[in-house]
Structure 1
């Protein structure tokens, strides 16, 4: 995947901002769980014990989590800063769409009709693009 230009230089289009927010959501999902995120006293250092032979030889789907690079994390944090440029309600709509929620679910969570949620999403992307270009 080719790296995009940093947001500070030149303006990003609203569609590029939406793409970067989706990348940030994917990066956040790929981050490892922090130590101590589960209940206390339930950590273990031993691997899972295999109870049956059929479970030992790859009958289950492999679970592989590729950790993001420092550059991916830096871009994700930059996107979080962008969300501060718009009101909280609009930032939530932007993030829900970046996580891949369908418009119907976004509208239900935002408490409005689908078309209004879409208009707020477009307006928030345009606002971020305008403010980034003004910073530029």
Structure 2
């Protein structure tokens, strides 16, 4: 099976990527994805007029939460970040994204079928592989997970 290549960001040459920076960027991308509006079905509409609610109708209702839309720069960074996990194994990518979304380790372990320590090592390995790839550092894919983590400075 052929490994996909991670794409480097535009500002990769200007900064040194560490696993903690990659983690923060993935968390920001997950937050932006949560704030994007829901996709609407195209081609469906109603010819009925909008219902106008009076003040008395709205008295007992719960207020609708305001959804703050992300900025265009945040969306661009999010789109760039979405490609980073393409070079990881599917399980590692799933663990990295679930952790970026703020899932608890218990939920991640149930989903992936690993113990907590193994899931944490896969997560850290995924962050380190992404940071090494963004820094354009070559490393042997046959190295152990622990060696890659040491090489990236993730420990």
Ranked by relative contact order (alpha carbons within 8 Å, sequence separation 6 or more), the top structure is 1
1:8 is displaced (CA, Å) by 4.5
Q: Hey, what does 1:72 align to over in structure 2? A: 74
Q: Kindly report structure 1 stretches of 4+ aligned residues shifted beyond 6 Å.
A: none
Q: Hey, what does 1:119 align to over in structure 2? A: 121
Matched, 1:17 2:19: no
How many pairs were matched up?
A: 127
For normalisation by structure 1, the TM-score amounts to: 0.79
d(CA) in 2 for partners of 1:78 and 1:10? 16
Alignment of 1:1-136 (within 5 A): 6-36=11-41, 47=50, 50=53, 53=56, 55-57=57-59, 60-134=62-136
RMSD: 2.7
For normalisation by structure 2, the TM-score amounts to: 0.70
1:17 is displaced (CA, Å) by 0.6
d(CA) in 2 for partners of 1:58 and 1:71? 39
The structure with more radius of gyration: 2
d(CA) in 2 for partners of 1:121 and 1:103? 11
1:100 is displaced (CA, Å) by 0.7
d(CA) in 1 for partners of 2:111 and 2:94? 9
Q: 1:74 to 1:122 in 2, by over 3 A?
A: same
